[in-house]
Amino acid sequence: VPDARPPVPPAPDGLLAALRAVVGEANVVVDADVTAGYERDWTGRFVGRTPAVVRPGSTDEVAAVLAACTAAGVRVVPQGGNTGLVGGSVPLAGEVVLSTRRLDDVGPVDELAAQVTVGAGATLARVRAATLPAGLDVGVDLAARDSATIGGMVATNAGGLRALRHGPMRHQVVGIEAALADGRVVSHLRGLLKDNTGYDLPGLLCGSEGTLAVVTRVRLRLVPVLAHRATALLAVASWADAMALVAGLRRVLPGLEVVEAVDRIGVDLVADAFGIRVPFTPTPAVAVLVECADVRDPLDDLAAALADRAEVVDAAIADDPQRRAGLWAVRERCTDAVATLGVPTKLDVTLPAAELAAFAVDVHAVVAAVAPGARVVVFGHVGDGNLHVNVVVRPGAGSGAPPGPDPGADVHERVTVAVFAEVARRGGSISAEHGIGTAKRGHLHLVRSAEEVAVFRAIRAALDPAGTLNPNVLTPPA
């Protein structure tokens, strides 16, 4: 099969030698078979080329790599687990990839403060494995936990499955260390909860998508492990009922931690793709996953709350880990199930509560008008108003067919424009948790004023005047 990718751009004379001097020969990867894994994003939609993947092993090495690249006029894409869904982690225009995966140290758990300091390249799963034995957990959880890194989660301000209770990544970060493009390091890791001494750099770097600095270490606030959990998968007849259910449960269940939803198309797809058992026949219009966590078993409280809700057509409820995992699979496998169809247009939107149900219905007609025959799968974190609209154009293919080819940039763009117009019309946001990346930067004007974008550009220019860091993301092309 011919390689359709663009040719590898050459690195300027002397740069690779300078990088090898910083990180060692083995950590400047130029072998095309190895760099390929860093050049393609998780969805397969965004593919580029890099002259080298550099893998520093300490903050000082990150700083020196950045200084060398800036001095050579070479741009850099920071990359953690490469699970991002907006094309922000891959070298689309021949940038050097700075992989943070060797920065994976996890410090001792500070049980007194309920905090831990970790390397930016540590995966969420690795950090949790260190904190759980101390009865403490990271407030954010997501299905990509085995690969997503803390640095990537900070850079995207990841939301995930428990944002309803604990907020997104920005709420977990109490200290940060980062290297600027010119090689200076800013470090403020004391983790004091009250510390009004100027601008909030952790807050600024959360959601900065690798455009302002490379995060090297993070001080995380931890939340108590609540040992008792009860989970319910509920059949409801409409998105309007799902929203009424969310509002009702929120009022009576203080231990409510998760409210997720998957539409009928998504439930059938997960069942077909992975043989996951769905406890309802027929498949409901919307399946809602609810979880409560508490210091005592919340099963009875959850069951009593559900018994009072007319929206619940059918219910499966469990408090043992194995059956709970079975219910969770219907929601957690949605991303993988969509990927079995082909290269999706992934849209991650927030709607005002009063608009969400109508949007979830109307989005099918909105997509059909610009991409007739496309498969539209809607799921998401309905408890915080965040829906994931996944569109796969695969003309003529039936269930079980191999994944279709990428429909091309024009189709992705047409679908994006149509869905975002509907989101904007209803007062929503074009990114809830995945970020803007490269996929959405041309649409930022829908939700950010010209003045706000000018401030964004000024902040970028102040921290990275040479424009070294992640040039293809966040702010619209000039």
Residues forming the site for ligand MLT (CB under 6 A): 143, 334-335, 346, 348, 388
42 touches which of ligand FAD, ligand MLT, none (CB within 5 to 8 A by kind)?
ligand FAD
Least spacing, CB of residue 473 vs ligand FAD, in Å: 6
User: Dihedrals φ, ψ of 451, to 5°?
Assistant: -65, -40
| 44 vs 248, beta carbon nearer ligand FAD | 44
Q: With contact defined as beta carbons under 8 Å apart, do 71 and 64 qualify? A: no
Q: With contact defined as beta carbons under 8 Å apart, do 158 and 148 qualify? A: yes
Least spacing, CB of residue 389 vs ligand MLT, in Å: 9
| 199 vs 310, beta carbon nearer ligand FAD | 199
| 308 vs 336, beta carbon nearer ligand FAD | 336
Q: With contact defined as beta carbons under 8 Å apart, do 276 and 267 qualify? A: no
Q: Which of residues 153-212 bind ligand FAD (CB under 6 A)?
A: 153, 155-156, 158-161, 209-210
| 66 vs 357, beta carbon nearer ligand FAD | 66
DSSP string, 136-168: EEES---TTTTT-BHHHHHHHT---TTHHHH--
Alpha helix segments (H runs only) across 229-333: 239-252, 264-274, 299-307, 321-332
Helices and strands: H and E segment counts in the chain: 15, 16
- Using the rule CB under 6 A, is 78 a contact of ligand FAD? yes
CA separation for the pair 361, 378 (Å, rounded): 10
Cα-based distances in Å from 374 to 229, 343, 358, 399, 466: 38, 12, 20, 13, 42
Q: Which residue has the tokens 């067919």?
A: 401
Q: Give long-range contacts, CB 8 A cutoff, 24+ apart: 244-251.
A: 244/311, 245/288, 245/309, 245/311, 245/312, 246/288, 246/382, 246/383, 247/353, 248/305, 248/308, 248/309, 248/311, 249/290, 249/305, 249/306, 249/309, 250/383
- Using the rule CB under 6 A, is 61 a contact of ligand FAD? no
CA separation for the pair 90, 110 (Å, rounded): 35
334 touches which of ligand FAD, ligand MLT, none (CB within 5 to 8 A by kind)?
ligand MLT
| 87 vs 191, beta carbon nearer ligand FAD | 87
How many Cα atoms sit within 13 Å of 418 on the Cβ side? 20
Least spacing, CB of residue 34 vs ligand MLT, in Å: 27
CA separation for the pair 291, 214 (Å, rounded): 35
Least spacing, CB of residue 65 vs ligand FAD, in Å: 12
388 touches which of ligand FAD, ligand MLT, none (CB within 5 to 8 A by kind)?
ligand MLT
- Using the rule CB under 6 A, is 152 a contact of ligand FAD? yes
| 27 vs 390, beta carbon nearer ligand MLT | 390
**Contact region with ligand FAD (CB under 6 A), list: 53-61, 71-79, 223-231, 359-367:** 71-79
| 121 vs 414, beta carbon nearer ligand FAD | 121
DSSP three-state, residue 37: helix
383 touches which of ligand MLT, ligand FAD, none (CB within 5 to 8 A by kind)?
none
Q: How many residues belong to the site for ligand FAD (CB under 6 A)?
A: 38
User: Among 42, 359, 420, 456, which residue sits at the site for ligand FAD (rule: CB under 6 A)?
Assistant: 42
Q: Which of residues 430-459 bind ligand FAD (CB under 6 A)?
A: 433-434
Residue 34 one-letter amino acid:
V
Least spacing, CB of residue 289 vs ligand MLT, in Å: 11
471 touches which of ligand FAD, ligand MLT, none (CB within 5 to 8 A by kind)?
none
- CA 8, 47, 158, 105 torsion: positive or negative? negative
Distant-in-sequence, close-in-space partners of 122: CB < 8 Å, separation ≥ 6 = 103, 104, 105, 106, 149, 150
CA separation for the pair 372, 366 (Å, rounded): 10
Least spacing, CB of residue 384 vs ligand FAD, in Å: 11
Binding mask 109-148 for ligand FAD (x = CB under 6 A): -----------x---------------------xxx--xx
Least spacing, CB of residue 262 vs ligand MLT, in Å: 10
What the block records as the tokens of 220 is: 């995380």
| 84 vs 284, beta carbon nearer ligand FAD | 84
| 44 vs 135, beta carbon nearer ligand FAD | 44
CA separation for the pair 227, 425 (Å, rounded): 43
Note the Cα 181 to chain centre separation in Å. 24
Comparing every residue's Cβ against ligand FAD, the nearest one is 152
Least spacing, CB of residue 388 vs ligand MLT, in Å: 4
Q: With contact defined as beta carbons under 8 Å apart, do 261 and 379 qualify? A: yes
Comparing every residue's Cβ against ligand MLT, the nearest one is 335
| 258 vs 299, beta carbon nearer ligand FAD | 258
Note the residues at the interface with ligand FAD (CB under 6 A): 42, 77-85, 88-89, 100, 120, 142-144, 147-149, 151-153, 155-156, 158-161, 209-210, 214-215, 335, 433-434, 470, 473
